[in-house]
Amino acid sequence: MTFTHALTRKPGNSFPFGITTAELGRPDLAQAQAQHIRYCEALTQAGLHVDTLPALEFFPDAVFVEDVAIVEPDFAVLTRPGALPRRGEAQEMLPVLKQHFGRVYQIDGNATLDGGDICKADDVYYLGLSDRTNLEGAQQLAAILNHFDYRSELIDIRSLEGILHLKSAVNYLGDNTMLLDPRLAELKAFEAYHHLVVPLEEAYAANCLRVNDVVMVPAGFPRTVELLQTAGFQVELLDVSEYRKMDGGLSCLSLRW
């Protein structure tokens, strides 16, 4: 799929006080702001029109816009984040989605769904069951996707320690290729794809992001870079060290369609 648009949101002054399990220390706000600007520049250079939304100071994690929506060119789905303090972020995103998409669906009831648990590969959506996404949330999304002729498959990651979201550990690079944390490499769901398996010590780098002709890769993971370049992918390194401290990665920072 060729992307033409992206939504991002500036990190607020409250960003260092968000939710995290990473135990890597508090992020440096000025550095996080600079990294976000560079990230948006990279999306623009890849050919996307980037709309950057203002910071939401009441929601420190709001910079991670991918968690609050799933977007396609002709529709969007507003999620219901699994972390209670993040629920308001989704409602702040609703009017934005209505500006860009003719059809906007919402996950509701007792369902929980984080966009970080949703991995699309061509016409298939892999829906991660995690501490943030429950079965009801995944089933509601699957029903919406089925309406648009997308197939979906559940992947339960709840027993995998240290993996917050599905896309923390697997990302589709196009060309029938999956980039995988080794702990997911043997899953039957992915057996039809060509596998690029990152070293376990570079597991964070499984969250790379293919945007048109470029694979954006977090800086500091040389073996993953070599793996991708050997496979023929054009790589661009981006420093997201401050977002890693808050359980975030490259895919989390934008909505793309």
d(CA 42, CA 34): 13
Q: Which of 195, 135, 125 is nearest to 167 (CA)?
A: 125
CB atoms within 10 A of CB 228: 23
Residue 201 in tokens: 């010590």
Cβ(180)–Cβ(197) under 8 Å?
Answer: yes
Residue 72 neighbours by CB under 8 Å, 6+ apart = 148, 257
H or E element at residue 215:
strand 214-218
d(CA 177, CA 190): 10
Distance of CA 221 to the CA centre of its chain: 19
Q: Which residue has the tokens 């829906």?
A: 127
E-only strand ranges, 95-208 = 104-106, 118-121, 124-129, 151-156, 170-172, 177-180, 194-197
User: Catalytic: 252?
Assistant: yes
Cβ(65)–Cβ(78) under 8 Å?
Answer: no
d(CA 217, CA 24): 20
Catalytic annotation, pick one of 36, 40, 119, 165: 165
φ and ψ of 143, to 5 deg = -65, -40
User: Catalytic: 208?
Assistant: no
d(CA 156, CA 166): 9
The CA radius of gyration of the chain, in Å to the nearest whole number, is 17
Catalytic annotation, pick one of 40, 119, 208, 252: 252
Positions marked active-site: 165, 252
